[in-house]
Chain A
Amino acid sequence: MHPAYSVIFFTTASGAGYGLLVLAAIFAISGLMPATAWLGFVTNGLALGLIAGGLLSSTFHLGHPERAWRALTQWRSSWLSREGVLAVATFVPAGLFAIGWVFLGTTTGFFGWMGAAAAVLAVATVISTSMIYASLITIRQWNNGIVPVAYLVLGLMSGAVLLEAVTRLFGVHGSHVDVVAIVLIVVGWLVKLAYWHSADTGLVKTTLATATGLGRFGSVRLLEQPHTEENFLMQEMGFVVARKHARRLRAIAQATLFVVPLAATIASLFVAPMVAMVLALVAVVSLAVGLLTERWLFFAEAKHDCMVYYGR
């Protein structure tokens, strides 16, 4: 599948934003993060900024962005529509939670409930995003229960790495953040390895023989395609650049997305606070590179069934 940059940025940025929102809400409600104005401003601003920036970016690949509001209407049948509705709905409790934290200095009571509601809606939004892909039986690699798990875990993991940096910058860091970050990075790594394994070994159901129904006569081979130049289908579904470098790109993704953030988080336990802060920022930069590579591969390595008609 063609890896559209707007969609890559959208899924990674909003995933990280929702992950940060969930963890910050949990820690703030349980008193593990103080309800101070600047901490609240940066944490919520970063989370909501990533979410809003991602959502805005997702409209850039549309043919008619001005009609994007229509995408909120078909939640009965469409995961894309559900995602839109949930994303908009999340802003309401998330906004109230941020107001309570930043301006009123409270993250408990009513505002605590708003934080909890925002966290639940954020999880639901990320799952809806992943279901857009996981529900397509036309793309074998995506049509898989691991996809929602991977999107959720990678979103939470991104949030945890961001939270490491924010809490160290504000000097409110505690070991609970380290524990959560380390556990999520390890789980994220395992989930992503499971995804790659299933993508490599999954059963191919649709072949040129079944797609044309001509398999009954023996082998089927494309003799002549309908057109000489690349059309929309081949550009959108027939992306082949990544497969050539898939092994190397997967290694880069693993190193930057899991190895570096994990090593930096563990190392920061044993060094001075200033060095730990630098390590946390290194982890964030590495995470960004890793997420973009991983998501690029997620699209570029996925193969659409309709390409079998072209003998691909």
Chain B
Amino acid sequence: MTSLPKHPPAKRLGLAIDLDTCVGCHACATNCKEWNTGGISAPLTDVNAYQAEQRGVWFNRVYTYEVGGEGPDARTVHFPKNCLHCEQPACVTVCPTGASYKRSEDGIVLVDHDKCIGCKLCSWACPYGNREYDEHVGVMKKCTLCVDKIYNQNLPEVDRVPACVAACPAKARHFGDFADPNSTVSKLTRDRGGYDLAPETGYLPTSKYLPPRPGKRSEAMPAAAPAPAIAGAGRFLKWVDRVLTR
């Protein structure tokens, strides 16, 4: 049923993504692809995988932006983006077949690949560009918040988090329940001023972004003073000195 749940879901699962610590390594995107090409969304088709004009389905994409012009306050912000599991997802309500739905228990937005006719209208309705069409299978695919991982009783409890969260080496991705005010994601959102992407759309994303921390980069990182030369030291000692002073 593509009508939204009548009552707000008891749990509101989502991610808090920290733009201050994201290093733009694409590990989240890669691990997402790895897990989901074997999970319930399998396969995440790649077309022309080993030649020019390659394209394929990815649930997670990492953009890099230059913010604040080119002066001393300029900063590079890595920006991972995947489904935000909105509270008002028009991608669900436009679906003519009932393939798209928002789960009433935890708010996860999913596609039933056995019902999808591949009309692509849901991708038109998503302002965030978070649905991708699998041209080989002929259906729409999207981030499942690793629904086949986070509830998987065969995995140790510590591993029951989305693949992107598990992979992040900078701990820039946090998974949790936004309906619980004491969850890590709720606390982070409160403390760091977590915000919605494109709030003017009214889709009310569940997942939040934590902004880069303020502060002038020019003050935070003074130019390194030249290391004093070690008189009489040979090349090996100079190398040791360089390594130890790093």
Q: State the A residues within 8 Å of B (CB).
A: 1, 61-65, 67-68, 70-74, 76-81, 84, 132, 135-139, 205-206, 208, 210-214, 216-227, 229-233, 235-237, 304-307, 309-310
B94 pairs with A210, CB closer than 8 A: no
B119 pairs with A236, CB closer than 8 A: no
Interface bits B116-135 vs A (CB < 8 Å: 1, else 0): 11111101111111001111
Q: Select B63's contact among A84, A205, A226, beta carbons within 8 Å.
A: A226
B200 pairs with A70, CB closer than 8 A: no
A residues within 8 A CB of B120?
61, 236
A residues within 8 A CB of B118?
62-64
Cα-based distance from A64 to B133 in the complex (angstroms): 12
Cα-based distance from A307 to B129 in the complex (angstroms): 8
Cα-based distance from A231 to B69 in the complex (angstroms): 28
B204 within 8 A of A: no
A residues within 8 A CB of B92?
77
Q: Select B55's contact among A206, A214, A229, beta carbons within 8 Å.
A: A229
B63 pairs with A63, CB closer than 8 A: no
Cα-based distance from A208 to B209 in the complex (angstroms): 15
Q: Select B117's contact among A67, A213, A304, A306, beta carbons within 8 Å.
A: A67
A residues within 8 A CB of B182?
none
A137 pairs with B79, CB closer than 8 A: no
Cα-based distance from A24 to B16 in the complex (angstroms): 59
Q: Select A306's contact among B54, B126, B135, B138, beta carbons within 8 Å.
A: B126
B139 pairs with A70, CB closer than 8 A: no
A73 pairs with B98, CB closer than 8 A: yes
A residues within 8 A CB of B19?
214
B residues within 8 A CB of A210?
198-200
A224 pairs with B64, CB closer than 8 A: yes
Cα-based distance from A133 to B1 in the complex (angstroms): 21
Query: Chain B, interface size: which category?
Result: 35 or more
A73 pairs with B97, CB closer than 8 A: yes
Q: Select A74's contact among B52, B95, B139, beta carbons within 8 Å.
A: B95
- For the complex of A and B, list the 3 residue pairs with the smallest distance between their C-beta atoms, beginning with the closest: A63-B118, A63-B138, A306-B129
A226 pairs with B62, CB closer than 8 A: yes
CB distance from A296 to the nearest CB of B (A): 17
Cα-based distance from A59 to B52 in the complex (angstroms): 30
B67 pairs with A214, CB closer than 8 A: yes
Q: Select B116's contact among A63, A74, A213, A222, beta carbons within 8 Å.
A: A63
- Known contacts A214-B77, A217-B67, A233-B129; is-contact A67 B29 (Cβ 8 Å): no
A205 pairs with B200, CB closer than 8 A: yes
Given contacts A222-B63, A231-B58, A310-B63, 12 further A-B contacts (CB under 8 A): A73-B96, A76-B3, A80-B119, A81-B96, A84-B96, A137-B90, A138-B125, A232-B57, A236-B124, A304-B129, A306-B127, A309-B128
A206 pairs with B198, CB closer than 8 A: yes
B residues within 8 A CB of A211?
127-128, 197-198
Cα-based distance from A235 to B53 in the complex (angstroms): 12
| Shortest Cβ distance from A207 into B: residue | B198
B211 within 8 A of A: yes
Of the A-B pairs whose beta carbons lie under 8 Å apart in the complex, a sample of 26, sorted by A's number, is A1-B124, A62-B117, A63-B116, A63-B134, A65-B117, A70-B97, A70-B115, A73-B97, A73-B98, A78-B96, A80-B119, A84-B96, A135-B94, A136-B94, A138-B126, A211-B198, A214-B79, A214-B211, A217-B67, A222-B63, A229-B55, A231-B55, A232-B55, A232-B133, A232-B135, A236-B133
B137 within 8 A of A: yes
B residues within 8 A CB of A136?
90, 94, 124-125
B76 within 8 A of A: yes
Q: Select A222's contact among B53, B65, B140, beta carbons within 8 Å.
A: B65
A63 pairs with B139, CB closer than 8 A: yes
Scan residues 66-109 of chain B and give those whose CB is less than 8 A from a CB of chain A.
Answer: 66-69, 73-77, 79, 81, 90, 92-99
A223 pairs with B211, CB closer than 8 A: no
| Shortest Cβ distance from A133 into B: residue | B124
B75 pairs with A138, CB closer than 8 A: no
Q: Select A237's contact among B54, B117, B129, beta carbons within 8 Å.
A: B129
- Known contacts A65-B117, A225-B63, A227-B61; is-contact A71 B198 (Cβ 8 Å): no
B202 within 8 A of A: yes
B183 within 8 A of A: no
A71 pairs with B117, CB closer than 8 A: yes
CB distance from B3 to the nearest CB of A (A): 5
Cα-based distance from A205 to B200 in the complex (angstroms): 7
Cα-based distance from A306 to B63 in the complex (angstroms): 13
A218 pairs with B121, CB closer than 8 A: no
- Known contacts A63-B137, A76-B3, A213-B197; is-contact A219 B117 (Cβ 8 Å): no
A residues within 8 A CB of B52?
229
